Structures are given as C-alpha cells and as structure tokens.
Amino acid sequence: MATGLPEPEPLRALIDALRGLPGVGVRTARRMAYHLLQHDPDGALRLGDALRDAVGGLCHCECCNSFSQTAVCETCLNPERDPSLLCVVETPADQNMIESSHGYRGLYYVLMGHIAPLEGVGPDQVRFASMLERATDGRVREVILATNFTAEGETTAYYLADMLRSRGLTVTRLARGVPSGSELEYVDAGTIAWALAERRSG
C-alpha cells in the first residue's frame, strides 16, 4: 500500500501542529502547510510571530475569564456596562457574537468550555467555582445562560441554573430563536439579538 513520499521532520511537525485546529484533518493540514511554504513563506513567518505574541501577551481576565492583555479587560472596566446582568458563554468567540448583536449591555463570564461527561469533562474542569464566585459578587441580579444549544451546552446550562438559583439569583436562558443543536459562533447577529430580548426563565 502506497504511503507517499517521506516528509522532512520540520514539515511533519508543521502538519501535525495544523491538525490540532478544529475541523482540520491530515489532508487539509498538509495542503495548508504546502501552501504556506511554497506560496507564502512571509505569511507563514507572520503567522508564527502572531501566534507567539498572542500566547505570550494574553492572559485571562480576572473578572470574566476571557482573553485580555491586562489583568481586567476593557469590557469589565467599562462604566457604561450594567453590572447587574451577567451573561455566561462557553467561549470568547460566543462572547464576540453576542457583542456584535448590539443587544446586550451587561457583563460576561466565559467558561472556556462545557460539561462533556463522555469526554470526562465535569464542573471542576470547567471551573464552575470561579463562575459562581463572579455571579455572587453582590452586584449581579440576573444571570443569562448563553451556552450553546448542543447536548453539552444544554447540560451545562441545566447544571448552572440549579447552582445559581440556589443562591437566590434570577436565571434566564436565550430564547429558542437560536436553532437547536447550533453554536452561537455560527448564528447571525440578528437572531442572537432576538434571542437575548426574548430570553426565558432558565
């Protein structure tokens, strides 16, 4: 069975690194690697520098857990945001989509994941304790659960709703304008704005 030409170690390492990206298989990773090396070596160097700068220059905001260049991000420091509203999302990409809807002026907490029992990811791995500390700071009155409408997102929302209600907080969930099984990152801003406005008790 043909296995193709042997690839130099640096090329194999690049392909393996690209395979780590979501949705990228070995064939796509190989195409990307060959394209960068053959057609855009300067772009490859810029990409490497940008990745190095991002990894070295970003941290997690102490308040919302999203990516930031400072200990507390600009959104959390913005005095025009409503501190009584806290929107819980799975990823910074989801946070960005909600911001692009221009329908929300509260604050955020980014879980950086979700409960996935089949993958061995539970509440401890998603750092629910940190989210709970943020939600019970005395200023938050309503927590909007904006986890994705996937099985994992729904499980995460159910678990969080119980925790938060037991602390006397109002808990709401995005309305079903967001299709079941969908991820916020891929939903249009208008639909997200409607889902926020029509949110229901979680």
Surface-to-core class of residue 200, CB atoms within 10 Å of its CB (0-12 exposed, 13-18 middle, 19+ buried) = exposed
Residue 1 scores a pLDDT above 50: no
User: For 155, phi and psi rounded to 5 degrees?
Assistant: -60, -40
Residue ranges and CATH numbers for the domains of the chain are 9-57 (1.10.8.420), 60-201 (3.40.1360.10)
pLDDT, tens digit, 9 for 90 and up, residues 115-133: 888 788 888 778 789 999 9
Q: b vs e for 118-145, b when ≥16 Cβ sit within 10 Å of the residue's Cβ? A: eeeeeeeebbbeebbebbeeeebebbbb
Residues paired with 188 in a beta bridge: none
Surface-to-core class of residue 103, CB atoms within 10 Å of its CB (0-12 exposed, 13-18 middle, 19+ buried) = middle
Percent of the chain with pLDDT over 70: 84
The reported pLDDT for the residue numbered 118 is 79
Among the listed residues 94, 80, 74, 81, the one whose alpha carbon sits nearest the alpha carbon of residue 146: 94
Residue 4 scores a pLDDT above 80: no
pTM above 0.85, yes or no: no
pLDDT, tens digit, 9 for 90 and up, residues 143-182: 999 998 888 998 899 999 999 999 999 999 986 555 555 5
pLDDT, tens digit, 9 for 90 and up, residues 96-113: 999 998 889 999 999 999
Q: Which amino acid makes up residue 53?
A: D
